[in-house]
């Protein structure tokens, strides 16, 4: 049934039409632009939240049949929106989700036990443009795939699910523009990093917030794709309406500009490989070198990211629906992974219960040694003595892997590791736990400060430098 309510005021008359099926700001813009072209229509305001379209006119009333025809031809239903439930009554949907999650977990465990690692390929000793490209290729099938690829998979699957009748090229177009925007954006922003040096930097807490925000977006996308909640499936994450309307005069251009902008903005997502290359771009001190380095890196990620996006563009029918369900569960798992990593980063400096040094610092030096590789840090748990000069020696075997960007906020340390030995010196606090992590929170570790009264025997002696090699490695999140 169609509900049309005429409203009059001293300035303009209105028709309020109930419309069901709008799920995002793009739906609102589509209806507004289509109805605006009808004769005698002065203004159109569509509202997804209220489920209405308001048509304003002056003396002459527009053709109501033309308005309702446009609404129906655009794929929407006339009438009140049906209130959806939070959960499905059929448990089969949730059983399918659990089975898919179990299948993905088995694949992950098999890959992990076989020693397969996404941390990096080989030892990249100098970040030339060729090496930057190869690092990008590695990132495109590893940590960037988990972060950026997860977003692409979620967004592209949702887009193609809603445009299942469109041509394959039409469904693939956004991925092409996304990667073009990513390459160009990385070039411009990488150049700015090279120009301004270390002026631009983000704290681990801020990176953690960004990671959690990314994870939450992916969580909603995963819920939508896997159809776990009918009500949440109606929620879409889009640009604010005033921005969407401002970037273009038609939906096609807006779609392309949105894809270009989204690709460029992935520069700020905290992928370990990306941060490693950004750190190098900072050290170049050159706009051109920084830009070329980051463009080469982004170009290297393109095949992997285009592959995961393009895969969703060439599917149709029943298989497509099953694939979208499968990718939805995968995106959900990646979302949980990123939220967990973000939480780790946010709590690196705040929950360690660090008691600052007493001011009476021993002249002796304690030394700890650690190895960084594409598999993380080893060892990653240390016992150190309080109020002592501490020399942290890190042997970086792959300085452009996920683990190469090291951060320990509680002692004010953030360092891009270089090939070979990296030495960090600090005064150990009076007590507490110093937590450290890679830039994405996937590889973690800690230094336990043994209090003077503690019965715990430290692995160090104050009279000589000692290699801590007998402390067991603690399990942590990793790329493999």
Asked if residue 79 has pLDDT above 70, the reply is yes
Task: Set out the domains of the chain in order of their start, with CATH numbers.
Answer: 4-78 (3.30.70.100), 92-346 (no CATH), 351-480 (2.60.40.420)
pLDDT tens profile 406-465: 888 888 888 888 889 999 999 998 888 999 988 778 888 999 998 765 444 444 433 333
What is the per-residue pLDDT for 301? Answer: 82
What is the per-residue pLDDT for 269? Answer: 67
Please check whether residue 425 is in contact with residue 390, taking contact to mean a CB–CB distance below 8 angstroms.
yes
Asked if residue 394 has pLDDT above 90, the reply is yes
Please classify residue 277 by burial: count the beta carbons closer than 10 Å to its beta carbon, then call 0-12 exposed, 13-18 middle and 19+ buried.
Answer: buried
pLDDT tens profile 230-276: 777 666 555 455 444 444 444 444 556 767 887 888 787 656 567 66
What is the per-residue pLDDT for 3? Answer: 53
Task: Specify the range with the lowest mean pLDDT, choosing from 39-53, 67-81, 95-109, 121-135.
Answer: 121-135
Q: What is the mean pLDDT of residues 184-188?
A: 93
Asked if residue 102 has pLDDT above 50, the reply is yes
pLDDT tens profile 314-330: 555 566 567 667 777 87
Residue with more model confidence, 351 or 83: 83
Q: What is the mean pLDDT of residues 355-373?
A: 78
What is the per-residue pLDDT for 370? Answer: 96
What is the per-residue pLDDT for 367? Answer: 93
């Amino acid at each position: 049934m169609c509900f049309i309510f005429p409203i009059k005021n001293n300035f303009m008359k209105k028709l309020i039409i109930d419309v069901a099926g709008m799920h995002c700001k793009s739906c609102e813009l589509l209806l507004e632009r289509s109805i605006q072209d009808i004769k005698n229509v002065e203004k159109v305001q569509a509202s997804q939240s209220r489920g209405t379209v308001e048509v304003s006119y002056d003396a002459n009333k527009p053709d109501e049949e033309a308005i309702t025809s446009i609404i129906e031809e655009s794929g929407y239903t006339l009438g009140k929106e049906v209130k959806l439930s939070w959960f499905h009554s059929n448990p089969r949907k949730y059983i399918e989700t659990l089975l898919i999650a179990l299948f993905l977990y088995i694949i992950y465990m098999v890959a992990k036990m076989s020693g397969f690692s996404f941390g990096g390929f080989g030892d990249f000793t100098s970040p030339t443009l060729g090496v930057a490209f190869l690092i990008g290729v590695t990132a495109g099938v590893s940590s960037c795939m988990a972060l950026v690829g997860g977003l692409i998979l979620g967004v592209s699957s949702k887009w193609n699910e809603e445009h299942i009748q469109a041509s394959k090229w039409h469904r693939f177009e956004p991925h092409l523009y996304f990667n073009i925007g990513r390459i160009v954006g990385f070039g411009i922003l990488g150049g700015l990093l090279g120009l301004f040096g270390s002026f631009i930097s983000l704290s681990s807490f801020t990176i953690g917030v960004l990671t959690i925000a990314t994870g939450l977006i992916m969580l909603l996308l995963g819920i939508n794709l896997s159809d776990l909640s009918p009500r949440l499936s109606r929620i879409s994450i889009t640009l604010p309406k005033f921005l969407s309307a401002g970037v273009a005069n038609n939906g096609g251009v807006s779609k392309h500009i949105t894809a270009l902008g989204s690709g460029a903005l992935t520069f700020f997502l905290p992928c370990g490989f990306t941060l490693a290359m950004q750190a190098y771009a900072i050290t170049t001190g050159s706009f051109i070198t920084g830009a070329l380095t980051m463009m080469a890196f982004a170009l290297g990620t393109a095949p992997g990211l285009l592959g995961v996006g393009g895969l969703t563009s060439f599917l149709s029918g029943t298989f497509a629906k099953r694939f979208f369900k499968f990718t939805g569960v995968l995106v959900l798992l990646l979302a949980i992974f990123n939220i967990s990593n973000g939480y780790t980063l946010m709590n690196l400096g705040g929950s360690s219960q660090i008691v600052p040094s007493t001011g009476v610092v021993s002249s002796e030096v304690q030394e700890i040694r650690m190895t960084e590789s594409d598999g993380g840090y080893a060892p990653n748990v240390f016992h150190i003595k309080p109020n002592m000069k501490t020399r942290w020696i890190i042997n970086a075997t792959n300085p452009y892997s996920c683990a190469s960007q090291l951060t320990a906020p509680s002692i004010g340390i953030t360092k891009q590791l270089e090939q070979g030995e990296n030495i960090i010196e600090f005064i150990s606090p009076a007590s507490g736990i110093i937590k450290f992590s890679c830039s994405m929170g996937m590889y973690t570790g800690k230094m336990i400060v043994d209090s003077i009264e503690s019965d715990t025997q430290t692995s160090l002696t104050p009279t000589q430098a000692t290699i801590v090699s007998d402390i067991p490695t603690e399990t942590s999140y990793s790329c493999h």
